[in-house]
Amino acid sequence: MPQPPIYLDHAATTPVRPEVLEAMLPYFSAKFGNASSTHRWGREARAATDAARERIAACLGANPDEICLTSGGTEADNLAVLGGWRVQQASGRPGIVSTPIEHKAVLESVHQAAREGGDERLVGIDAAGTVNLDSAQRHIRDDVALVSVMWVNNETGVIQPIEALAALTKSAGAIFHTDAVQAFGKLDVDARKIPFDFLSVSGHKFGAPKSIGAVYVRRGTPLAPLFFGGSQDRGRRPGTENTPMAVALATAMELTLKERDVEVARLRALRDRLESALVTAIPGLVVHGRDASRVPHILHVSVPNADSESLLMALDLAGVAASSGSACQSGSVTPSHVLSAMGLPPELGASAVRLSVGKLSTEEQMDRVARLFPGVVQSARAMGGASSGRVRQSTAVNPGE
């Protein structure tokens, strides 16, 4: 009998939790009102949306008026980076600081700011994938409007020194944003403890549907909207509020925090079990970020002489879902920009695979993948792969991240 497939791409997206689906369904049908309407249907939707905002805020150590609902992580990052920078640069602070290992939602926003006259500066990264604080201090000066550094790298899982970076930024009088898309539910994300001004989250990373996220906006921090049309969300994000998705995000966040300590320990044990087995089974295997602090659910490796596309195809044929890093990188003809910034040789950067565990993962699955992996590597190498020294364009179709 064929073995059931194994899903090891939780860093790209997660299944919607049954409790979340149950909570949101009524707001698609019986409770369908527009939260901006004043009749009973509208008031019912408004009450649910406001309650969801309060619940989301409580999960982040925030106030309800500091939560701006978005369509997901990409919009949240764009709104925080461009919306924050545009206000500040108008008062004579053109600098915008980030790192070369950010998700493309942040990097492309930073590049857009540069096209609008911003002074773009990228902080140095060490070989383990951690931001160099000395480099950050050199770049974060009194002409900087905004600094954006992700809390957890979505490819390597490496945790960045957010508290120190936020302190540096505040001492320069600038706004600090962190993309916490891979951090929420794995780390203690609390606005009362760390002085970030903006923080982005995305619901589909922890059991909510796709197309719902949020930006935390600290009280008093200026933020220009990306688009216009209404007064919703205090003018920061005009448009009809998505009540069912707001309820879904609040429910998923509460469940995630309630289970966090137990689940983090479980995921770390699974990741370490798989990592140890693969290191033993595959000579020369490189574990990215192994010497740095990492979140528990991401294992990013490079397999010498086997390119990412061939590895992913061989894994898929063996019934294992994985990715080469950020799902938004599918179709790229170059190695990961994250691994390149870490100084990894191109041939290793082109042979990277990310295996990410989550709710669906079990010990038995880790052991099966460990047994399958040597054969997968052999098959990938037989396909041609990176042994020719070429970096081939990926044709894999991965869910957006």
Which residues are catalytically annotated?
Answer: 328
Q: 3-class secondary structure for 136-202?
A: HHHHCCCCEEEEECCCECCCCCEECCHHHHHHHHHHCCCEEEEECCCCECCECCCCCCCCCCEEEEE
Distances (CA, A) of 123 to 100, 135, 137: 7, 6, 9
Structure tokens at 90: 């108008």
Structure tokens at 31: 């409770």
Distances (CA, A) of 32 to 29, 46, 215, 244, 366: 5, 11, 25, 9, 43
Coil, helix or strand at residue 193 = coil
Structure tokens at 353: 């695979």
DSSP letters along 90-117, please? TTT--EEEE-TTS-HHHHHHHHHHHHTT
DSSP label at 204?
G
Instruction: Tell me the HSE value of 244 on the side-chain side, using a 13 A CA sphere.
Output: 15
Q: CA 141: distance to chain centroid? A: 27
**In 99-174, which ranges are E strands?**
119-122, 144-148
Helix H or strand E encompassing 70 = strand 67-70
Per-residue b/e over 18-39, b at no fewer than 16 CB within 10 Å? eebeebbeebeeebebebeeee
Distances (CA, A) of 311 to 13, 54, 252, 322: 20, 44, 33, 9
DSSP label at 389?
S
Phi and psi, residue 82, nearest 5°: -75, -40
Q: CA 158: distance to chain centroid? A: 12
Helix H or strand E encompassing 138 = helix 133-139
Pick the closest to residue 125 from 94, 165, 85, 95 (CA basis): 165
> How do beta strands 175-179 and 213-217 pair?
unpaired
